[in-house]
Chain A
Amino acid sequence: MLSFILRRAALIIPTFLGVTLIAFALIHLIPGDPVENLSGERGMDPARRTRLLHEFGLDQPLTTQYGHYLAQVLRGDLGSSLTTHEPVLAEFGTLFPATVELACFALLFAVALGLPAGILAALRRNTVADYAVMGVSLTGYSMPIFWWALLLILLFSVQLGWTPVSGRIAVEYDVPAVTGFMLADTVIARDWGALRSALSHLILPTIALGTIPLAVIARMTRSAMLEVLREDYVRAARAKGLTFGRVVVVHALRNALIPVITVIGLQVGLLLSGAILTETIFSWPGIGNWLVHGVQSRDYPVVQGGILLVALIVISVNLIVDLLYGVVNPRIRHG
């Protein structure tokens, strides 16, 4: 087990280095003058340009530049935003909890609905219930997420007036940011009105963001369960006289979860992609929104730093999922 952990952990180093390489190359691949791109200033006089060139280290050979960049990254210095002039890492840190909160709720939503739906579909194979679950999940991941969000807003906010249209909390509430997680902060501040408001603002974005993972989890659970239910040990368990419920939950589900956990973990990448679009529609103050604005306003330090940080998060989550898989699969845990 230990060698498994070490081997997996060792693999992320080259991947991470590769990502830093890409982030580094980004600046040099973007059309236009790198000095202008990095500083945000246009039409500088030559003297200033030469000074900035030297300041940014752009007059050095590429390998040295990369070395400096890597050193900076490892120190936590990712430059500053051209629009807000705040350090990129700090801005990321402020905005990231909002995205995490949304992503966590979306994932919880996806698992809480998707897992039972998949199990139901597998147990009631080729019945109406099965077709319904499969049909809904097929539709779910064939939909453009931003359109689905718009439809949800149209139905629930505009027509029914049940939920707010955008934002994380109603404007009248001013909750001091202790953890960065709105729900936690409202509880800490004991502001129950704010808590209610925050919850109602979470509903639609959670549904919009969680629909695709829900569809994927439902499908994967169904196919994993179907495979497991065919296995000899399920038949042997039934021959022992165990109740069907126990056979399904203790034996079938436990084994089916092994591949499903991997799938759940891989949803993180999907969630981050979806967050970009969801945050745009709901004006959710997270890193998705931040990145899009960065690209649209050519705020290259933000784009560069943002890509690096997001990739690092995805790599780390994949590592955790890998390790979790090792724990859950007894063949690896007790090699």
Chain B
Amino acid sequence: MALLEIRGLTVSFGTSRTPLIAVDHLDFAIDAGEIVGLVGESGSGKSVTALAVLGLVDFPGKVTCTQLTFDGRELPALSAAGRRAMLGGKLAMIFQDPLASLDPCYTVEYQLGEALRLHGGTAERRSAKARRARALELLRQVEIPDAPARLRAYPHQLSGGMAQRVMIAIALAGQPRLLIADEPTTALDVTVQAQVLDLLVRLAEERGMALVLITHDLAVVAETAHRVVVMYAGQAVESGPLPALFDAPRHPYTKALLEALPEHNRGRARLQAIPGVVPGARDRPPACLLAPRCPFARARCTVEAPPFTGAEGRRARCHFPLDASGRPGNDWATAAPLPVPAAEGVR
């Protein structure tokens, strides 16, 4: 049984007349101890997915799903108190801008202590001394030097990398079974990014903790994740294990993402970019969301929504998934081409 199982997750904002669909019938699962990358560009819905799992999507956002199970329990069925016991405990999340995620008015010790008072052991819940000891231990586990001095510090006295380590320590206070990291390194200096990432992966492996790495940066997941789910405009378009998914992507979008990486463009005059823009609220295509921009689009792609299917743990949402050499399969060559736009009159 998967640790976290999501089926049919949909999150929409806006009114019923002009809905803005941020997450579109997403299926996602992660097992205990797995490291999964949730990858996509800005606006693909990856962060909103995480917030929806935690129950932090506020009005006017509407969240619906067929199934949302964590650690064997149905999350939507939980009472508010039950959900609060889980958040910060077995299910934890860290955010993109660590300096902004710490309350500027309280010390590190206080903010760590809050988490320990809720999710720590019996000793920590009662005694401030036990909390302090455990806080020091947590800071050491996230490799923060001079931990006692750091406890007394206020957030504005910390560097970005230090603050993110504190956030990780806070998340660890409840011995989480699943940690969701939303763009954990994006706001950090390049030199620090690798350190924080290594720390996260090491902690996950040491504790058998599942880790969801949400990022737009393929390099972040390439070295660290077991599996990747690629999102586009709120939908999962491809999922599969690494390195297979990056070596031989099945979905044209994944292929295009990989091709746009600077490493794959050596010797070229221009980066290969994907033409067009991500659909907004008003111009959501009726069938395949990538069809307006896909170089392999066919008539079928504009009328029939492709299913998210596949075999051996690899799924792709495409009528003509790419084969090992990168060419579209499933009789793509004989499929009806895109209709030509009506003639515009004689010039």
Contacts and interface: CB of A to CB of B under 8 A. Distances in A.
A241 B117 CA distance: 11
A75 interface: no
A113 B204 CA distance: 50
Nearest to A228: B103
B100 A239 contact: no
A298 interface: no
A285 to B, nearest CB: 43
Nearest to B103: A233
B118 interface: yes
B104 interface: yes
Contact of A233 (B83, B87, B104, B154): B104
B105 A243 contact: no
B156 A331 contact: yes
Contacts of A242: 84, 88, 114, 118
Contacts of A324: none
Interface in A62-85: none
B95 A236 contact: yes
B299 interface: no
Contact of A238 (B87, B102, B154): B87
A48 interface: no
Contacts of A235: 56, 95, 101
Contacts of B210: none
Interface in A237-293: 237-243, 251, 254-255, 258
Given A233-B102, A330-B156, 7 more contacts: A236-B101, A237-B114, A240-B115, A242-B88, A330-B104, A331-B156, A334-B154
Given A232-B95, A255-B105, A330-B156, A238 B86 contact: no
A231 B157 CA distance: 19
Interface of B: 54, 56, 83-89, 92-93, 95, 97, 100-106, 114-115, 118-119, 154, 156-157, 167, 170, 174
Contacts of B104: 233, 255, 330-331
B91 to A, nearest CB: 9
Contacts of A251: 103, 105
Nearest to A246: B114
Interface in A186-242: 231-233, 235-242
26 contacts: A232-B95, A232-B97, A232-B100, A232-B101, A233-B103, A235-B56, A235-B95, A236-B101, A236-B167, A237-B103, A237-B114, A238-B56, A238-B87, A239-B56, A239-B87, A239-B92, A239-B95, A240-B118, A240-B170, A241-B119, A242-B84, A242-B114, A243-B84, A251-B103, A255-B103, A258-B105
A117 B157 CA distance: 34
Most buried by A among B85, B88, B115, B156: B88
Given A235-B56, A236-B101, A251-B103, A241 B86 contact: yes
A243 B87 CA distance: 11
Given A236-B167, A330-B156, A331-B156, A241 B101 contact: no
Closest 7 CB pairs of A and B: A241-B88, A241-B87, A240-B88, A232-B100, A236-B101, A241-B84, A233-B103
A231 B100 contact: yes
Contacts of A330: 104-105, 154, 156
B138 to A, nearest CB: 14
Contacts of A240: 87-88, 114-115, 118, 170
Nearest to B110: A250
Contacts of B95: 232, 235-236, 239
B75 to A, nearest CB: 13
A239 B102 CA distance: 12
A229 to B, nearest CB: 9
A258 B105 CA distance: 10
Contact of A334 (B83, B87, B157): B157
Contacts of B156: 330-331
B100 A233 contact: yes
A251 B106 CA distance: 9
A237 B97 CA distance: 14
A330 B106 CA distance: 8
Given A235-B56, A236-B95, A334-B154, A241 B89 contact: yes
Most buried by B among A231, A240, A255, A258: A240
Interface in A295-335: 330-331, 334
B85 A241 contact: yes
Nearest to A255: B105
Contacts of B83: 241
B93 A239 contact: yes
Nearest to A257: B105
A331 B100 CA distance: 14
A33 B208 CA distance: 92
A206 B199 CA distance: 60
Contacts of B87: 238-241
Contacts of B89: 241
Contacts of A233: 100-104
Nearest to B99: A232
Contact of B118 (A232, A241, A254): A241
A334 to B, nearest CB: 5
Nearest to B119: A241
Interface in A3-60: none
A254 B92 CA distance: 24
Nearest to B152: A334
Contacts of B114: 237, 240, 242
Contacts of A231: 100
Nearest to A237: B103
Contacts of B154: 330-331, 334
Contacts of B101: 232-233, 235-236
A245 to B, nearest CB: 11
A232 B94 CA distance: 11
Nearest to B83: A241
B234 to A, nearest CB: 21
